[in-house]
Amino acid sequence: LDAVTGQQVDLRQQSTYRFSASNAALITGRFSLSFGSLRPLATSSGTLASSVALYPNPAQKTAWVELPAALGRKPVTATLLDALGRVVRTQQLPANGDKAHALSLAELPVGVYSLRLSTEAGLVTKRLIIE
């Protein structure tokens, strides 16, 4: 982070960087490095997605989401998106172990939707058809 310009540079873009300073006294405190962990966008094996059940599919008025016990220890945010990627419904699924959660589909038009679950282990996206 450049404290003068506010510019941030993602150091993952290149494998090496070179810096030189002709007068170090002029730039003391100007630059800093920030480290943090990244949340994975997906798991390579797909085990996270395969551990979540969504039924019935196709559904009509209610669909059920069943999370494995490991993901049911903390609340999960369920976001339903239409075919254009617009958020049509958001619901908090409370922490309740491995019990199924009801998703109300009342008043939603027939179509293909994506259910995005934001869990402590990452994001899971499932396709849902509403008849």
Residue-range domain boundaries for the chain: 47-130
Phi, psi angle pair for 114, to nearest 5° = -115, 130
pLDDT score for 45: 40
Name the token pair of 38: 């990244």
Class of domain 47-130: mainly beta
Q: What angle do CA 42, 46, 52 make, to 5 degrees?
A: 100
From first to last of the 131 residues of the chain, give the pLDDT tens digit.
777 777 777 777 777 777 777 776 666 777 777 776 655 555 544 677 888 899 999 999 999 999 887 776 789 999 999 999 999 999 999 887 668 999 999 999 999 999 999 988 888 899 999 99
CB atoms within 10 A of CB 128: 22
pLDDT score for 31: 73
pTM given for the model = 0.63
